[in-house]
Amino acid sequence: MKISRYSIFPFIQAEIFPRRWFLFVLALVLALGVFFRFANLDEKPVWGDEAHTFSVVSGYSSFSVSEGYAISEVLDELPTNKVVSVGDFLKYQYPNSERHVGYTLQKLYTDVHPPLYFLTVRFWVKTFGHSVSVLRSISAVYSLLSVLCIYWLCLELFKNPLPGIVGSVLLLTSPIQVIYAQEARPYSLLTLTILFSGASLLWALRTQHKAAWFTYACSAVLGIYSQYFFVLVLLGYAVYVVLIEGLKLTARSRSFLLATFASLLTFLPWAILVLQHLSDFKGSSAWMNQHTLSLLGAVRLWSENISFSFVDPRTSEYLGLGKYSFYFLIPLILALVAYSIYCLVIKTPKQVYLFVFTLIGSTALPLIAIDVLVGGNRQIWPRYIIPCLLGLQISVAYLLTSKSLSSFTLKGWQRKVWPAITTTLITLGIIFCSIMTSADTWWNKYAGEQTNLVSGIVHQAQNPLIVINRQRPGTVFFYNLDPTVKLLFIKDERLIASNFDTGSGDIFLLNPTQKMKAELEQQEYRLSMLAEFPDPSPVPAEPTEFWRITRPQ
């Protein structure tokens, strides 16, 4: 039976896959993928980067690398030396009538991210409500749309629906994709635009239809306005077209150049705004130059990052099994990935494996080169090598599909090897995603365990009040507290006991100065440290301290 290239789900046709169990398993994996992305969205603590998303979306807070995630504009709205509630703080972290969308755009001029994600999030929370789960849920939606796009991309690439099915299943059960699907950051949107633009480009190159090139141009615009690194993806596409078409200006290469140029032209107004605030932009991204990687460190982190597409070896820490108990999976995954690339080269036409190679190298190679030449650690962050991880997933999807199909011509145990490998890989992804979804924090939520510790202490307290050093407010904790918890911001290191001591309730102290602690002790208050942990931001800062204040006897 001939499969229509334009059929959205040709694999459902009974003539191709008559076994109902296949459709049942596929539906089950799809349901699990949806569950992993939307379950317990508000359970894990908000961390620094997500707090920055709140700030930009609300239009209130400014981000300063030198001061961490400072929120001076919000604190200016709150009274000093007067008790307020967490709810009073949070109302400035969501869109309101006092700050229109222009304030959000103004905050983004100096940010390290373009505006598309933050504008869509602002619209999303205004439509569906103000909560952490709503703020994160749009990333889950983007992640699910990515499943359709990877199927389309594989269909265009391999001319067969089966790699698209396997690729979709791998994406649904990928730990790194689930991590970003549950995070209020733009990386699920970046994944979506990469896959959408790749599929659109292959469609346009194949058909040469104006509608196809227009779709590609639109996808490129969405990609650039989602993440600045997407420009490197476009550069990878350009390399791919040159490798396929040669240096001669053909009809296809001419159409590609026109569509890409048009997309870059639409980005010009925003680029001008960024250039006008280039010094602030450099300051916001200066943390990437703080640490230089050793060769062994880079190899270790790259190995971890590649494995995150299929398993999460760091899960052992959250199960109490030690840090490295699951690291034996990493060399197995690397071997599978390497073999998939080998098979891709020897078994597919050059227009197939070259596309995958340019996708893998589009951000990986430039980031490695920059780190080597000027120092820094850009290459080790999974969010910056998403195109590379997607390319490797597509390569593995092709390997599993081709080997599983060819195994049906074999006999005995050899016939079962690759179906068993495929089943094991998908099952491992489901297991790791299940553990991650049910956990109260994860490795991507920097200082998440400490945030849970502080919020747990405050939650168990009676009528709690948190006295806060206004210069180091540690506001990332506030998103995880009950809105009725009382806050008291102290300015200029002046701490007067009568401002907070009403004679009832538990009192805590967040990031006090030495003068604050000395003044309290002089008034015979007793201080006991409950938690101290390093600042999680990439820029070195003083440790975060959380104290209990005990009244004089």
65-86 burial string, b = 16+ CB within 10 Å, else e? beebbbbebbbeebeeeebebb
Looking at the DSSP bridge assignments, the partners of residue 260 are: none
Which is more confidently placed, 1 or 496? 496
Residue 143 has pLDDT above 80, yes or no: yes
Q: What gap in Å lies between CA 499 and CA 471, rounded to an integer?
A: 18
Q: What gap in Å lies between CA 449 and CA 442, rounded to an integer?
A: 8
User: Mean pLDDT across the stretch 481-504?
Assistant: 72
Q: Widest CA span of the chain, in angstroms?
A: 87
pLDDT single digits (tens) 257-299: 999 999 999 999 888 888 887 766 665 665 666 667 788 888 9
Distances from the Cα of 167 to the Cαs of 52, 177, 354, 537, in angstroms? 33, 13, 18, 35
Q: Which residues contact 510 (CB under 8 A, 6 or more apart)?
A: 466, 467, 468, 469, 472, 473, 474, 477, 544, 545, 546, 547
Strands laid side by side in the 83-85 sheet = 83-85, 486-490, 465-469, 507-510, 544-550, 526-533
User: Mean pLDDT across the stretch 319-341?
Assistant: 94
Question: pLDDT category, 396, cuts 50, 70, 90?
Answer: very high
Residue 117: per-residue pLDDT: 95
Residue 65 has pLDDT above 50, yes or no: no
Question: pLDDT category, 390, cuts 50, 70, 90?
Answer: very high
Residue 5 has pLDDT above 50, yes or no: no
Element (H, E) at 532: strand 526-533
User: Mean pLDDT across the stretch 145-164?
Assistant: 95
pLDDT single digits (tens) 94-118: 888 788 887 788 777 777 789 999 9
Give the angle subtended at the CA of 297 by the CAs of 113 and 330, to the nearest 5°: 90
pLDDT averaged over every residue in the chain = 86
- The residue whose two tokens read 């951000």 is 363
State the alpha helices, DSSP H only, in 208-245. 210-224, 230-245
User: Mean pLDDT across the stretch 524-538?
Assistant: 79
Question: pLDDT category, 10, cuts 50, 70, 90?
Answer: very low
State the alpha helices, DSSP H only, in 382-460. 386-406, 414-438, 448-460
What percent of the chain is modeled with pLDDT above 90? 53
pLDDT single digits (tens) 28-63: 999 999 999 999 999 999 988 898 888 888 887 654
Three-state SS at 44: coil
What percent of the chain is modeled with pLDDT above 70? 87
Residue 240 has pLDDT above 70, yes or no: yes
Residue 72: per-residue pLDDT: 63
Chain-centroid distance of CA 321 in Å reads 26
- The residue whose two tokens read 């502080």 is 454
Residue 538: per-residue pLDDT: 52
Residue 521 has pLDDT above 90, yes or no: no
Residue 16 has pLDDT above 60, yes or no: no
- The phi, psi pair for 510, rounded to 5°, reads -115, 120
Residue 283: per-residue pLDDT: 58
Encoded tokens for 397: 């999807």
User: Mean pLDDT across the stretch 59-74?
Assistant: 53
Residue 288: per-residue pLDDT: 63
User: Mean pLDDT across the stretch 354-363?
Assistant: 95
Q: What gap in Å lies between CA 210 and CA 225, rounded to an integer?
A: 23
Residue 384 has pLDDT above 60, yes or no: yes
- The phi, psi pair for 30, rounded to 5°, reads -60, -45
Which is more confidently placed, 437 or 536? 437
State the alpha helices, DSSP H only, in 39-186. 48-58, 72-77, 86-90, 101-108, 116-128, 132-158, 161-172, 175-181
Q: Are 166 and 422 spatial neighbours (Cβ–Cβ below 8 Å)?
A: yes
Nearest Cα neighbor of 483 from 134, 85, 75, 130 is 85
Q: Are 131 and 90 spatial neighbours (Cβ–Cβ below 8 Å)?
A: no
Which is more confidently placed, 62 or 400? 400
User: Mean pLDDT across the stretch 232-250?
Assistant: 93
Pairing of strands 544-550, 507-510: antiparallel
Look up the pTM and report it: 0.90
Residue 66: per-residue pLDDT: 37
- The phi, psi pair for 95, rounded to 5°, reads -60, 140
Encoded tokens for 318: 């959250």
